[in-house]
Chain A
């Protein structure tokens, strides 16, 4: 048995294929065609059924042979994704007619994809670029399978478009509405979010320094800051719209209120983070308040400040989108979501969600990258 190294994913995939084979028809039209062999029906997977089974079984078997890890991963990758692609394209025009074998094959393909990721993550490459590539490929396969399963299940089971559109429809909608989405992103992110984030975080930071410098502010400002953070955004947003008008300024005001407090609290905590010994050291140099702040306390507070910046990057996006539900010019991501839901254009809502998620991730990622560069000295970054 030295040429065989079984994996439970591979074995289970073979088992699922065999059950699917035994169950027979993959879709209702095929079942109907089998029931009346004399009539000629057109049905899905007329030509590709054997190919799909062959691909999956072959990939599952080959992956369990003693191959090099790279070849094994490659075989699994091709087998799983080609089968999934055949499965999804084959159901075209027959949405909602899939029977149990369709889902069994999908599960088998998914198991092989799983095995592929497992094999890839067990790799310990030496070269730097390979490691970087793997760090990107593994989550990409992961994410791809979420989309594949979403697509196959919504179309195979014929889930109503209103409840959950397939990702391909959302993608098509994104591609078809780029100007609208672009205008929304410009209005919501480049105006309200960025302005509110910079001003809110900046104000929180300055307030923290002021509270640190002036004792009566520390006693007075922190409790009030605490109260501001407890204000419900749903209540504040319409008031800000009344104060600052329908355009992006009122949304920026909501973002400022939301981002102020995390920055204030984190910076105050960060300013207390430098050690006694370091502060005594600065005292022996007869260093004044500002040199000590700039040379010791702010660098020591940097991890806390970046924590606040990361929290705020997602809070700002949420705040601006929600605030647009309470009155806005006819542009903006929140406005689009609220109106398109009313018009049952759920794919447009999903498109805005996808864009918001992408923008939020990029925003967070940029802040995290800057953090790594600035706090390179911190044990959590330099690793030990």
Chain B
């Protein structure tokens, strides 16, 4: 941890227990994880494995009940106050009373950037997600895929180095999803951001990630971490190569091993 490249996210013995009416539920237990700068890390696992909870802990939307976690060397709360990350939710969560450009401007207004600076960043990020020309449209006038792209633009607009994405393409159809995956990789290449990506699709995880964190439920924990051997530059048809299929098989095995606990 000390030295040339400090970890962007570093968790040790992280645990989170929700108090519910049916008694305590252990959402995360004993999670040890270090994410370096520029990595693309996917969290994959069945529902209830705590992958979204882990992302929310990194974002300081949930507080861990045990263990330690740091984001950019700070507590998650300090990191959030410093706007260290952009967060993309499962749904676009655009404000329907704002046009696309005003939606992208939302975080910039809160940070308090000048109008000129805002305009420049809106233009740049909308071009980055291929939404130039749709500035004056309202979210409900766009398709689901375009809305999700706008929400990615919004997360990119304030130039945080860390991008947290919680199943951002879960609600989209296969074709749109492939297209957005390709664009996301391209964007990651260009901006060199660190991306944490929650998904429940094996091909998506393998296609996108430099590292795949396989999680299993009850209690939510990391059951396997798989380093991808794929090159950084990945055309869509890399998914037919034996190398890709081998990694996918490892992920599937990891998921199955996690599952055998409760059967």
B80: chain A residues within 8 A (beta carbon): 283-284, 286
Interface residues of A in 124-166 (CB under 8 A from B): none
Q: Are A286 and B93 in contact (CB under 8 A)?
A: no
Q: Are A280 and B110 in contact (CB under 8 A)?
A: no
Which residue on chain A has the smallest CB distance to residue B90?
A: A277
B180 to chain A, nearest CB (A): 19
User: Which of B28-36, B64-72, B81-89, B253-261 is the contact stretch?
Assistant: B81-89
A285 and B97 in contact (CB under 8 A), knowing A277-B91, A295-B110, A377-B140? no
Q: Are A284 and B61 in contact (CB under 8 A)?
A: yes
A299 and B87 in contact (CB under 8 A), knowing A283-B80, A285-B107, A382-B140? no
A378: chain B residues within 8 A (beta carbon): 96
Partner of A281, one of B81, B83, B93, B97: B93
Q: Are B89 and A285 in contact (CB under 8 A)?
A: no
Interface residues of B in 102-124 (CB under 8 A from A): 106-107, 109-111
Q: Are B93 and A285 in contact (CB under 8 A)?
A: no
Q: Are B110 and A287 in contact (CB under 8 A)?
A: yes
A277: chain B residues within 8 A (beta carbon): 89-91, 93
Interface residues of A in 239-281 (CB under 8 A from B): 275, 277-278, 280-281
Measured CA separation A101–B200 after assembly (Å):
79
User: How many chain B residues touch the partner (CB < 8 A)?
Assistant: 25
Is A296 in contact with chain B by the CB < 8 A criterion? yes
Which residue on chain B has the smallest CB distance to residue A286?
A: B81
Which residue on chain A has the smallest CB distance to residue B59?
A: A284
Measured CA separation A285–B59 after assembly (Å):
10
A243 to chain B, nearest CB (A): 42
Is A182 in contact with chain B by the CB < 8 A criterion? no
Q: How would residues 135 to 174 of chain B score, 1 for a CB under 8 Å from any chain A CB and 0 otherwise?
A: 0001010000000000000000010000000000000000
Partner of B85, one of A278, A280, A284: A284
Main secondary structure of the interface of A (DSSP, over half): helix
B18: chain A residues within 8 A (beta carbon): none
Measured CA separation A282–B103 after assembly (Å):
12
Q: Are A280 and B61 in contact (CB under 8 A)?
A: yes
Is A291 in contact with chain B by the CB < 8 A criterion? yes
B62 to chain A, nearest CB (A): 10
Which residue on chain B has the smallest CB distance to residue A281?
A: B93
Interface residues of B in 40-69 (CB under 8 A from A): 59-61
Which residue on chain B has the smallest CB distance to residue A296?
A: B95
Q: Are B95 and A299 in contact (CB under 8 A)?
A: yes
Q: Are A278 and B110 in contact (CB under 8 A)?
A: no
A375: chain B residues within 8 A (beta carbon): 97
A295: chain B residues within 8 A (beta carbon): 95, 106, 109-110
Partner of B110, one of A291, A376, A379, A382: A291
Measured CA separation A285–B83 after assembly (Å):
6
A281: chain B residues within 8 A (beta carbon): 87, 89, 93
Measured CB to CB, the residues of B under 8 A from A are: 59-61, 80-83, 85-87, 89-91, 93, 95-97, 106-107, 109-111, 138, 140, 158
Between A and B, 30 residue pairs with Cβ closer than 8 Å are A275-B93, A277-B89, A277-B90, A277-B91, A278-B93, A278-B95, A281-B87, A281-B89, A282-B110, A283-B61, A283-B80, A284-B59, A284-B61, A284-B80, A284-B87, A285-B83, A285-B107, A285-B158, A286-B81, A286-B83, A291-B110, A295-B110, A299-B95, A302-B97, A376-B97, A377-B96, A377-B138, A377-B140, A379-B140, A382-B140
Measured CB to CB, the residues of A under 8 A from B are: 275, 277-278, 280-287, 291, 295-296, 299, 302, 375-379, 382
